[in-house]
Amino acid sequence: MKKIDEYQGKKVLVMGFGISGINAAHLLVKLGANVTANDKATPKNNDIVDDLEADGIKVITGDNPISLANKGFDVVVKNPGIPYDNPLVAAFVKQGTPIITEAELGWQIFDGHLVSVTGSNGKTTTTTLTQLMIAENAKHQVKYAGNIGISFSKIAENLGPDDTLVTELSSFQLLGAPTIHPHIAIITNIFSNHLDYHKTRENYINAKLNITRNQTKNDFLVINWDREEWQKIARRSQATIVPFSRLNKSHEGSYVEDGMIYWRGQEVMPTKDIRLIGPQNVENALAAIAAAKLSGVTNDAIKKVLTTFSGVRHRLQYVMEYQERLFYNDSKSTDIEATEVALQGFDRPVILLAGGLDRGYTFERLVPYFKKHVKAMIVFGECKDKMKDAGNQAGVPVIESENAITAVPEAWKLSEPGDVILLSPANASWDQFPSFEVRGDKFIEAVEELTGKKEQ
């Protein structure tokens, strides 16, 4: 941990009691700040409040009182999910109070080698693969943290100058991380996500590009080269560009040619040996390989990881095989693009479980994928009628169900040996579940109840 004094004696407001907010509050106390912690909700577990107050932190819950904007705070550390049009946040913006996220705080105290990953899809898998690959050859600690569910600052506290930290960073986190400077930055892809938060696609892209804002030519930006738009976005960086591509050969980075993965013209391994299925996971592997090779990792270490790693929970996760049916949990597929690539990963008939929060769009784009890959569909949630329309256009049998739990026995009735039963909703979970993680966990529980087996 790097010793810094910029918070000594400063008044700091921490907004949000998530894992990152609680850790940030305690860290700021160690850094000499006078800390107030505020959460709009009142915690059900009073231990959270007791723990904060025991560290000398003033705690305010149940509201984001606008009066806090007049208390002379020097800095606000905001939960990334709190929008900037929140009245209290907007008041701080208006008066020019610096607003950062916990990722920025983590960077400020970090004293080692930073690799950071962002993108619309594939962040967590790429972060995990990158960490595993670098760790295979490392003589020092290699950890991961960030949007992957582990506090950046908490991990950074315990790392030294020779250690490596691989961080997954969301657009929300990056908006509040003005000085973050990874030596290697990865952008997996950029689609049109979180426009309710960012308002425009350009705002969303700009937030993602904060990952490379402070990079120089001595740093590296590893970026997907499979779309012309992403190639243009790369040129807005000052870093050395390292492309990865499933579709376009580039000797400057990692790519696929005739079923073989190459790094700068040298063979690494066949794509068929990657344990993770689907073209999106080939892309995730290519991104991780680029970062790993830039970090001095051997091909043998890369092969070991890619031939054994079976996936991150809820991200095209293999659950089990039962009576010659394969179950997969892809609850993280909360947009159309993610479900497109999930379906392309299977050469068996798929019974698709899909649906969820109605965000106002329709699903015609999925019709060709339904025609090619899907044997039958079970639809649920607010957008089930729209999903059913797309299934009907594809000529696929469609059954309605209540949710992702009740859909499991319905899918089983339709299945035959050799089929894949896939939860890949193409929609957010919030109409029926508090998160995609809960939705995926409930799906797995339903599979376990149906089969009498535990996930593998």
> For 260-309, what is each residue's pLDDT tens digit?
999 999 999 999 999 998 888 999 999 999 999 999 999 999 999 999 99
Residue 77, pLDDT score:
98
Spatial distance between the Cα atoms of 75 and 57, rounded to a whole number of angstroms: 15
Give the residue carrying structure tokens 């991150």. Answer: 312
Domain with CATH 3.40.50.720 in the chain: 11-100
The predicted pLDDT at position 243 comes to 98
CB burial string 220-244: b at 16+ within 10 A, e below: bbbbbbbeeebbebbeebebebbbb
pTM of the full structure: 0.82
How confident is the model at residue 312, as a pLDDT? Answer: 84
CATH 3.40.1190.10 domain position(s) in the chain:
103-308
Weakly modelled stretches of the chain, pLDDT under 70: none
Contact 316, 306 (CB under 8 A): no
Angle between helices 46-54 and 19-30 (to 10 degrees): 10
C-alpha 294/C-alpha 214 separation (Å) is 19
Please write the tens of the pLDDT for every residue from 162-187. 999 999 999 999 999 999 999 999 99
The whole-angstrom separation of Cα 28 and Cα 12 is 8
Q: Which contiguous run of DSSP H or E holds residue 449? A: helix 436-451
State the DSSP H helix or E strand holding residue 224, giving kind and residue range, or none if neither: strand 220-224
Rounded CA-CA distance 102/19 in Å is 10
CATH architecture of 103-308: 3-Layer(aba) Sandwich (3.40)
Q: DSSP character for 69?
A: G
Domain 11-100: state its class: alpha beta
Q: Which amino acid is residue 62, in one-letter code?
A: G
H helices of 257-354, in order, are: 279-294, 299-308, 336-344
Per-residue pLDDT at 80:
94
Q: Which residues contact 66 (CB under 8 A, 6 or more apart)?
A: 87, 88, 91
CA-closest candidate to residue 366, choices 424, 435, 436: 424
Structure confidence at residue 341 (pLDDT): 84
Q: Indicate where the chain has its CATH 3.90.190.20 domain(s).
A: 317-451
Kindly list the strands in the beta sheet with 317-322, ordered across the sheet, starting from the edge strand earlier in the chain.
317-322, 325-329, 420-423, 350-355, 374-380, 398-400
CATH number of 317-451: 3.90.190.20
